[in-house]
A and B are shown apart, each in its own frame.
Chain A
Amino acid sequence: MQSAQILSPPSSQNVNSRERWLSVVVGSAVAAYGLSRRSIAGITLAGVGAGLVWRGASGFCAVYDALGLTTAAESDHDTSNVSVPYGRGVRVEQTVTIGLPPEEIYTFFRNFENLPRFMSHLKSVTVLDDRRSHWTTKGPAGSDAEWDAVIINEIPNELIGWRSVDGSQVDNAGSVHFKANPADRGTDVKVILRYDPPAGLLGAMTAKIFGEDPAHQVKEDLRALKMLLETGEIATTKGQPNGVPHRARLRERLAEVMR
C-alpha cells in the first residue's frame, strides 16, 4: 500500500488562486493573534502569519519551491482532456483483498449508486446514464462538493476508470482494478485516486493534520467495502451504551488530541 503523494513540476508562481486567498486569510489571523500575545513566541507567530500573507499576495511559496511542489499550474485554463494533469494534485493508492470472485465485486462497484454505502465521505451518487453519474460529497469541515463523473475506461471484471467532467468543483479521476488471486485467496481490489484539493495543497495538509488524510480515508472505505461484501454489514459500535455520556467522551478525546 502506498499513501498520498503530492506531485508537481517546477514553476515560478506555485500557489493557485483559491489557496492564495486561504493563505492571506489564515496568515492575517495568525499575525493578529501573534501580535496580541506580546511575547517572543507571539512575535514569532506574527512573523509566520506575515509570511503566509506574503505567500498569498505573491503566489510564490518558498516551501513548495524547496520541495518542488506546485498547485498553480494551468488551473484556470485547463485544455487537456484529463481532469487532473499528470504531476498535479494528490494521488492515493490502496489495495484490499476481498474473498469473492472479481465478477461479483465488479458488478457491485459498477453500480456507482452503491458507493455511498461504504465510502464515508460520499453523500450520494446518481447514475445519469451508462457512462455518466453525479457525485455529492461531504468535504472537509462540512463543506459539500459535487461534480459529474464520466467513465473513460472499462474492462468488465477487470477495471473501471472515471474522471470528473470539465468545470467540476473538485477535479478528480479514479480507477479500480480487480485481480483474482490463486486458490481461495479472493480478489485484490486496488483503487487509485487523483484529485486537486479545493483548498490547494495547504488545505490538503491542514485536512491531514485534522485527521482527514485521504490515504487513510480510502483505506477505511476499502475495509468497509470488504466487510459489506464478505459479511453483509459494516462493523460498528456507534450507538452502543457506555458509562460516560457521548458529549463528555468527545470532550475528553479532544483534550487528548490537543495535549
Chain B
Amino acid sequence: MKAVCWFGKTDVRVESVPDPKIINPHDAIVRVTLTAICGSDLHLYDGYIPTMMKGDILGHEFMGEIVEVGAEVKNLKVGDRVIVPFPICCGRCWFCKNDQWSLCDNTNPNAWMVEALYGFGGAALYGYSHMYGGYAGGQAEYVRVPFADINPVKIPDGLPDEKVLFLTDIFPTGYFAADNCDIKPGDVVAVWGCGPVGLFAMKSAWMLGASRVIAIDRVPERMRLAREACNAEVVDFEEVDDVYDVLKEMTGGRGPDCCIDAVGMEAHGHTADALYDRVKQVMRIEFDRAHVLRQALHCCRKGGTVSIPGVYGGFIDKIPFGAAFGKGLTLKMGQAHVQKYVHHLLARIERDEIDPSFLITHRVRLDDAPAMYRTFRDKQDDCIKVVMRP
C-alpha cells in the first residue's frame, strides 16, 4: 500500500510499504477514505519531537471503512464506516474508566521512554514517534487500529467524510480546551492561535456559554475565519503595541476570564522573550518556544483559567510562574480525551449545529503529501487545513 513516511527533518515521502495485518485480538484494519495533516504533525516535520525513526508512517486524523476485525472485536463488522480517535485507549484501565482517556495505561509498548522524560506516560498515539508507542499512522491506504472494540466510532450513512473527519482530533481538542475553562455566564474567552484547534475552541466556547470570544493571531486568512466563521473579535498581534493592553481595554480592565493557548511549542512573536526562545531553540538548548503561554499567563484575569491544548514536548524557561501564583490561576492542559466528547460532538453534527468542514482549504491526493506539508508549515496559499484522499 501507499503511505506517508517520515525520513527526517522536513523530509516526508510517499512510499510503498507492506499492508498492515491483525496482530492482537482487539485489532481491526481500516481502509482509509479520508485523512488530514494536523498542526501537530508539523512539529514532527520540523524535527522537534524526539524518538522518530526513518520510515515511520505519519498521520493521526483518519477515517474509513472496516475491512477486517480481530477475534475479540464483536461490535464492528466489515463495511462499517468509522472515525478513529487519535489517542489509542484500552477502555479498561483506571484512567479510561475515569474518562481520562488520553492518559490510558495500557496501549504504549514504549511507555518507559515517556517515563524517562515525564515520570509517567499516557496513551499511545498514531504516527507520533516511538515514545508515544511507535504505531503506524493513518496517512496511508490502510491502518491497523488497536482496541477497535473501544475506539472507533460508527458514522451513520448520509454524513459525508468531510463533516466527521475532524472528530478524530481537532474538534474534540478545541472542545476539550473550552471545557477545561469551566465557562460561566458572562465569561470572556481569549484564544491565541486561529489554526484549526483555535477555531474549534472558539466555536466550542460559544457552545459552552461564553459571552464574548477574542482571537489573537497574525495570519490574515485565519483571522478572517475567526471573525466570520467563529464570530470572534480579532486582535492582530503584529498590529498592536502590547496584546496585554489591548485585552485589558477590551475587558473593562479585568482581563479575559479564560485564556486558551492553541499555539504550543512553535509560537511566533516579536517581543524580546520570543527572540530569546528562538535563539535557544535553534541552538538546541531549549525545546519549546513559549511566547504565547507567557502572554496568556500575563493577560489572564485574577482567578481565571489558562487552558493549553497547544502541544509542548520538553523544557521551557522564563515562565512567569509568579503571575500564575499571584493571580491564583487554574492551569489545565494535555492531550484531549477524545473518547469522552466524541459521541456528544457527533450528535451536534447530526443536528446540523456545526459543520466542521468549514476550515478545509486544500483537498488533495495522498501523493501530494510532501508538497502539502511544506505549504501547510509555511502557511502559504492561505492553507489552514489539508485533507487527503488515498
Interfacial residues, chain A to chain B (CB-CB below 8 A): 97, 99, 184-186, 216, 219-220, 223, 226-227, 230-244, 248-249, 252-253
Q: Are B93 and A99 in contact (CB under 8 A)?
A: yes
**B contact residues around A241 at 8 Å (CB):** 1, 3, 17-20, 57, 136
Give the docked Cα–Cα distance between A239 and B17 (Å).
Answer: 12
Tell me, yes or no, whether B53 is within 8 Å of chain A by CB: yes
> Per a CB cutoff under 8 Å, which of A185, A186, A243 touches B13?
A243
A-B contact sample (15 more), CB < 8 A, given A248-B55, A249-B53 = A99-B93, A99-B94, A99-B97, A223-B112, A230-B90, A231-B92, A237-B136, A241-B3, A241-B17, A241-B136, A242-B53, A243-B17, A244-B53, A249-B54, A249-B55
Say whether A237 contacts B109, CB under 8 Å.
Answer: yes
In whole angstroms, how far apart are the Cα atoms of A249 and B6 in the complex? 13
Min C-beta distance of A71 to chain B, whole Å: 28
Bound CA span A223–B56, Å? 25
Q: Which residues of B contact A232 (CB under 8 A)?
A: 25-26, 72
Secondary structure dominating the interface of A? loop
* Chain A residues whose C-beta falls within 8 Å of the C-beta of B93 in the assembled complex: 99, 230-231
Q: Which residues of B contact A243 (CB under 8 A)?
A: 3, 5-7, 13, 15, 17, 54-57
When the two chains form their complex, are residues B57 and A230 in contact, meaning their CB atoms are under 8 A apart? no
Show 26 residue pairs from A and B whose CB-CB distance is below 8 angstroms, ordered by the A residue.
A99-B93, A219-B112, A223-B111, A226-B106, A227-B90, A231-B92, A233-B26, A235-B24, A235-B109, A235-B133, A237-B134, A237-B135, A240-B20, A240-B135, A241-B19, A242-B5, A242-B56, A243-B3, A243-B6, A243-B15, A243-B57, A244-B53, A248-B54, A248-B55, A249-B54, A252-B53
Interface status of B105 (Cβ within 8 A of chain A):
yes
User: What's the least CB distance linking B11 to chain A, in Å?
Assistant: 11
Are B23 and A239 closer than 8 Å at their CB atoms? yes
What residues of B have a CB within 8 angstroms of the CB of A219 in the complex? 112
Please indicate the chain A residues that have their CB under 8 angstroms from the CB of B1 in the complex.
241
Pairwise interchain contact B26-A231, C-beta atoms closer than 8 A: yes
CB-CB contacts below 8 Å: B1-51 with A:
1, 3, 5-7, 13, 15, 17-21, 23-26
Whole-angstrom CA separation of A167 from B323 in the bound complex: 66
Per the bound structure, the CA–CA distance linking A248 and B5 in Å amounts to 15
Q: Which residue of B lies closest to A236 (CB)?
A: B109
Nearest-neighbour CB distance to chain A for B100, whole angstroms, equals 13
